[in-house]
Chains A and B, each alone.
Chain A
Amino acid sequence: DTGVSQNPRHKITKRGQNVTFRCDPISEHNRLYWYRQTLGQGPEFLTYFQNEAQLEKSRLLSDRFSAERPKGSFSTLEIQRTEQGDSAMYLCASSLVSGDKKNTEAFFGQGTRLTVV
């Protein structure tokens, strides 16, 4: 296992188009997180899953954003009707939180950089 994998690494889209990003977490990690990072800022929490259940959504996640983790493995983040303000790096992370088996941190993927033109 080589870590958290995100695809695509870069995406350029026209305003108004829909985009979808994929995140493959580290095997056996039951928690998966999405963050957004705009230029010059720290990452901001968007949402997270435990297995297939979406446990929390930030108020940053407008109704144009939807995230899924249908089988508790990979996750997708879709943005509908993209706006220029959606341009950012979208980061995915995963961790194991299960009884006695716990990581001490979450592990981040390489991110997907979205540019809306």
Chain B
Amino acid sequence: ELKVEQNPLFLSMQEGKNYTIYCNYSTTSDRLYWYRQDPGKSLESLFVLLSNGAVKQEGRLMASLDTKARLSTLHITAAVHDLSATYFCAVDIPPGTYKYIFGTGTRLKVLA
């Protein structure tokens, strides 16, 4: 059974600090997706990583994909309060179907 696991599940951090969220998945896939979700809201697409070694950056967030290790990371640089949300990674099986298997989610709280 395909599993997508994230750690940590909860993260409380001070503004200005850096941290990394990890996403491991249990099957071969050359693509991975990161989404953000605010409480009671839907999913906002952050990054689409479509190949091994892909790295994308947007503002204070940077995502990377290592398909050989079946690992993606979401790095937060100099966190600000507005980044407080739940972050999900997902793989789609089969690739390109957008039939997502989501990770467990990481609930991030940035303290002022």
Not counting A42-B104, A43-B43, a sample of 5 additional A-B residue pairs whose C-beta atoms are within 8 angstroms of each other reads A42-B88, A43-B100, A43-B102, A102-B96, A105-B33
If A42-B88, A42-B104 touch, whether A109 touches B98 (CB-CB below 8 Å) is no
A110–B99 alpha-carbon span in the complex (Å): 18
Report the interface size for chain B: residues with CB under 8 A from the other chain: 22
**Digit string of B36-51 for contact with A (CB within 8 Å is 1, else 0)?**
0000111101001010
Please report the number of residue pairs spanning A and B whose Cβ atoms sit closer than 8 angstroms: 54
**Digit string of B85-112 for contact with A (CB within 8 Å is 1, else 0)?**
0001010000011111111110000000
In the complex, what residue of chain B is closest to A93 when comparing beta carbons? B98
B interface residue numbers (CB < 8 A to A): 4, 33, 35, 40-43, 45, 48, 50, 88, 90, 96-105
A91–B43 alpha-carbon span in the complex (Å): 9
Q: Do residues B102 and A42 form an inter-chain contact, with CB atoms below 8 A?
A: yes
If A104-B48, A104-B50, A105-B33 touch, whether A95 touches B98 (CB-CB below 8 Å) is yes
Picked from A97, A109, A110, the residue with its CB within 8 Å of the CB of B97 is A97
13 residue pairs A–B, Cβ–Cβ below 8 Å: A31-B98, A35-B100, A42-B104, A43-B43, A43-B102, A45-B99, A45-B100, A105-B45, A105-B98, A106-B98, A107-B45, A109-B42, A110-B42
In the complex, what residue of chain A is closest to B41 when comparing beta carbons? A110
Q: How large is the interface on A (under 10, 10 to 19, 20 to 34, 35 or more residues)?
A: 20 to 34
**B residues in contact with A45, CB < 8 Å:** 99-101
How far is the CB of A33 from the nearest CB of chain B, in Å? Answer: 7
Within 8 Å of chain B (Cβ to Cβ): is A21? Answer: no
If A41-B105, A42-B105 touch, whether A106 touches B42 (CB-CB below 8 Å) is no
Within 8 Å of chain B (Cβ to Cβ): is A44? Answer: yes
Within 8 Å of chain B (Cβ to Cβ): is A48? Answer: yes
